[in-house]
Amino acid sequence: MKTFLIFWGFLFSFVVFAADIPSDDLGAQKYDRTQCLYNTTQDCINSQCLTSEETDCQDNCRKMAQAKCQQEINE
């Protein structure tokens, strides 16, 4: 009986571990998208907006970053 319970304990722990893997991948994808948006927006702002007289330069950088990161995700 003790062996039977140990077997089921191991089996259950493997099932629980396997169920956690996809959520980790989704979290990593969300983090990568967030990092992509932040980095791309900051690069654009630093290279374009510091010397630009456009009042909506930062908004344009955010829109461009969203499009670029979405394209990278779709590839």
Q: 49-68 pLDDT, tens per residue?
A: 988 888 999 999 999 999 99
Q: Which stretches within 45-74 are classed as H helix?
A: 57-74
Q: Are 48 and 24 in contact (CB under 8 A)?
A: no
13-32 confidence digits (pLDDT tens)? 544 444 445 555 656 667 68
Q: Where are the domains of the chain?
A: 29-75
CA gap 48, 57 in Å, rounded: 8
Q: Are 20 and 33 in contact (CB under 8 A)?
A: no
